[in-house]
Amino acid sequence: MNIIMMGAQGTGKGTVAGFLKEELNLPHISTGEIFRKNIKEQTELGKIATKYADEGKLVPDEVTNEMVKNRLNELDCKNGFILDGYPRNIAQAKELDNILSQKNENVDLVVNLNTPTEEIVERVMARRECPKCKKVYNMILNKPKNGELCDECGVELTKRVDDTEEKLKIRLNTFFTETKPVIDFYREKGVVKDEEISVSINRLGIDAAKDIVEYVKSK
C-alpha cells in the first residue's frame, strides 16, 4: 500500500503517520529526513542540495525527485510506504507516477487532513521543542509533565524561531496555493480520503488514524 500524507502543519500529520506506520508496518518517509540524510552523508545529491541552500535558493525538482526515487527503491519500501512532504506540485506528482510505474505500482491512497486555520495557528503557537533531544511537545495537546521542561532531558523547552503567527500564515497560504492542484490531481484518480480533524467536533488525529487503518484493511 503506497500512501501519501497531505495536510498543513498543525493538522496532526505526525500523529496519523506514526499510528499508520505501526499498524500497517510501513515506513514513514518525510522529504525533510531524506534531505538531511543526503546532506549529512554528502551524497552527490546532498552536495547539490547544500549548494542551493547555501545560496538561499530552492532545490530544483529534479534533485528532490531523484532523492525520493532512491529512497523509495530501498528494501523497506517493498510492501509500500507512507510519504510525507512530497509531492508538493503537479510536476512532482507526475514524476512520482513515473517512479512508481517503473515498479508496476501506483499511489493507492492520499490522506488529506483538514483542520480550521485558526485551530492550526493555535496549535503551532503552542508548540515547544527540546533543544537537546529534539522531542516536540504541544502546550495544549501534549504537555510535558513538569512545566516547560523536557520529560526526557529535563532541559527547558524552546519555541522554534519560525513559529510566529505572521510566518505561519505565510507558510499556510503557500501550502494551500501549492497543494490544492495536487489534491485535485489525485482526486481525479479517485484515491483521496478526506479527514476532518478539529477539537470543535471532538475529532483528533488518532481518531482519523484509526479510521484510515480500518479503511485500508477493508481494501
Catalogue the active-site residues. 13, 88, 127, 160, 171
Whose cell is 479510521? That residue is 211
| 45 touches 38 (CB < 8 A) | yes
Q: Compute CA distances 61 → 35, 92, 98, 144, 181, whole Å.
A: 13, 7, 14, 39, 17
Name residue 89's amino acid: N
Extract the C-alpha cell encoding 67.
532523492
Strands 109-114 and 2-6: parallel
Name, in order, each residue with C-beta under 8 angstroms of 161's C-beta and a sequence gap of 6 or more: none
Secondary structure class of 115 (helix, strand, coil): coil
- CA 60, distance to chain mean position in Å, is 19
| 195 touches 112 (CB < 8 A) | yes
Secondary structure class of 17 (helix, strand, coil): helix
